[in-house]
Amino acid sequence: MRNLIQSVNRDVVIKNTTKMSEEKHEIVEGIKYTYAAEWTRSLESRDHWLLYHYQQQLMENKVKPGDKVLEIGPGSGFCSNYLKSNGVQVTTLDIDEDKEADIHANIVTYQFEKSYDHVLAFEVFEHIPYEKFIQVLEKLHDRCRNIFMSVPENKRRLLDLDLWLPIIKNVRISVYVPKVPITETHHFWEVGHKNFTERRLETNIQDSGFEIEEKSKYKGRIYFILSS
């Protein structure tokens, strides 16, 4: 049975159901959060599988059997299940009870009482206001050694190729252009949109007490490995 450690302080929950998707809206501290679980019940796109593989590459030789991991936003559960199969102790947290996470909570109001070796937050923080994201980082500083995270760039893909060539082996060719408006309705912010610059993001991360160990870009996302 799921262990619902902490419930969200919710004011309103409204469901909008269509043939293709189901969205939920939740108001917490006067801010409206939108999320959905329907996409986890069907075959995910090739891009999603490639993102999962990239995430695992980032964690390779860093997250080890026996480590305690908190995954925020487990999605379909692929990442947590893979880590568990390799002996990693994973706890999941999500705002959406349909995701059946171990902890049902909104990270904005959740008080992190336990400590972990690593926190995973892939494609999570853009779903909360930027100022709240910084506050969450500050709360996590004393609760983990590392954070593996990604945030989206405000760009539109024109070309994205992964080629395998003799001798050179893997070659990635990507062409992106500024998107300007944020088209994803669940996102509060994206890097490169208005004043949410990459430099500002890095400065705020460091001001929260974390060091940026690694930074990379893949398929319109910026990936960070942070150490406290």
pLDDT at site 39: 65
pLDDT at site 196: 96
| 9: pLDDT strictly greater than 50 | no
Q: Give the orientation angle of helix 130-140 with respect to helix 198-207, to 10 degrees.
A: 30
Residue with tokens 């679980």: 37
pLDDT at site 25: 77
227 versus 32: which is more confidently predicted?
227
Do residues 75 and 51 make contact, with C-beta atoms less than 8 angstroms apart?
no
**Model confidence pLDDT, tens digit, residues 81-103:** 999 999 999 999 999 888 889 99
pTM of the model: 0.83
| 157: pLDDT strictly greater than 80 | no
Domain ranges of the chain: 44-227
Fold of 44-227: Rossmann fold (3.40.50)
Sign of CA dihedral 198, 223, 151, 128: negative
